[in-house]
Structure 1
Amino acid sequence: MTTAANRAPEQPSPRIRRAAYAGALALVPYATMKQYWALDGSWGLPAGYATLGDKMAADTHGRDLGPVNGAALWLYEHGVDVTVVLAALGIFLLLGLVRPWGLVFPRRLPLLAGRPVPRWLPLAPAWATAAVLAPVFGVLAPVNGVLAVLGLSHPNTAGFSPFAFTIAYGGFGPFGLALGAAAWSYQRRTGRTRRTAALTPPASP
């Protein structure tokens, strides 16, 4: 007899899955543009903008990057922008909330293969990130955009062209909203599975 604890974990609805895929794709323009800038591309940058490459050439070594200074410089020296890595991790997190490997560790992972993924592992960073991105970029940014189009607001884009600014940062809103929806679905599904397993008596020998 199969118990609830041995059943396949509940999967997200097609709507949540589509939202997650759309949110993941929404970050691709941001990552692409940041990587383009890391490779010394200049389109979309304000005139006179000092890139990390410029700072390194001037022997300032990007010290204004603060605590991520060492990692950012090492990645940049290898042709990668640290924010591209963070975007990739964000996409990985979002997809993990709607894919089977976000519930059970894949078999190719040593020691962890086949074990349930602890709920807190994806939920903690997902809720923390969604709590910041969803209201700021998913609600306030679109409202400010509409006001700007109507001439009622003049947002500060720090000298970046509006088009480049939109491409680079427009995906944060859809990503944050999708992350919140996927986290809610993941939390509800995994919580239901555990409650059902706790209430199901063990199988008779």
Structure 2
Amino acid sequence: MKTTSSAIEPASPRIRRIAYVGAIALLPYAAMKQYWSLDGTWGIPATYPTLLEGMEARARGKDLGPINSAMLWLYEHGVDVTVVMAALGIFLLLGLVRPWGRIFPRWVPLLARKPVPRWLPLTPAWVTAAILAPVFGVLALTNVVLMVFGLSHPDTDGFSPFAFYIAYSGMGPYGLALGAAAWSYQRRTRRQAA
């Protein structure tokens, strides 16, 4: 029996808005890392190599496995691997609140129009939310409050503090939005699984 996405309760408008905000919050990180992968230097200490130079230096004289070879290939073509991961993270977040995240699209061989197994999006969503929400949500916010009162002076390792906060300030909202979307997806698909 084929299941249609309309047979499954949609995410509420509030959860969809939270997911969209979380996805948008991750864009500055992706943009900054993509800028750096294209040899942009703003915000990076003058003594730091470019991302490609650093990767090539670490790879020199080593037998690279398939993952490191793929990462080096991406850097050689001007793409930071964490930008790819951010894009996958946004795809995951939006898939938790959109109909295409519950039913495999037509173009997926052998799985077209079949329900997505609950564990497939929920496992990476809960793991990622459990890491990002506390570290970049709670701890980073606490650190900002302490900085405002002059009680903390974080070491940004020579990076421009402004670039550092642009790049990483979206991780907390993304993690919180991912947790909210995963909770909603789990609740909505539990009825379907039963």
Same fold (TM over 0.5): yes
Once the 2 structures are TM-superposed, how far is the Cα of residue 26 of structure 1 from its aligned partner? Answer: 0.7
Aligned to 2:188: 189
Q: Is the 8 A contact 2:129 2:176 kept in 1?
A: yes
Greater Rg by CA: 1
Q: Is the 8 A contact 2:52 2:72 kept in 1?
A: no
What residue ranges of structure 1 are gaps of 5+ in the alignment? 196-205
User: Per the alignment, in what secondary structure is the counterpart of residue 7 of structure 2?
Assistant: coil
Aligned to 2:113: 114
Aligned to 1:61: 59
Aligned to 2:85: 86
Runs (4+) of structure 1 moved beyond 3 Å?
A: 59-64
Aligned to 2:169: 170
Between the aligned partners of 2:93 and 2:13, the Cα distance in structure 1 is: 15
Once the 2 structures are TM-superposed, how far is the Cα of residue 46 of structure 1 from its aligned partner? Answer: 1.5
Structure 1 letter corresponding to 2:166: I
Between the aligned partners of 1:62 and 1:156, the Cα distance in structure 2 is: 30
User: Per the alignment, in what secondary structure is the counterpart of residue 112 of structure 1?
Assistant: coil
TM-score of the superposed pair, with normalisation by structure 2: 0.90
What residue ranges of structure 2 are gaps of 5+ in the alignment? none
Inter-CA distance 109–53: structure 2 relative to 1 (3 Å threshold): closer
Task: Identify which range, 72-81 or 104-113, moves more after superposition.
Answer: 104-113
Aligned to 2:28: 29
Query: Aligned runs of 1:139-178 on 2, under 5 Å?
Result: 139-178=138-177
Deviations 1:117-151 (A, max 9, x none): 00000000000000000000011101101111210
Aligned to 1:203: none
Structure 2 letter corresponding to 1:174: P
Q: 2:47 aligned with 1:40, yes or no?
A: no
Once the 2 structures are TM-superposed, how far is the Cα of residue 182 of structure 1 from its aligned partner? Answer: 0.3
Aligned to 1:200: none
Aligned to 1:199: none
Structure 2 letter corresponding to 1:181: A
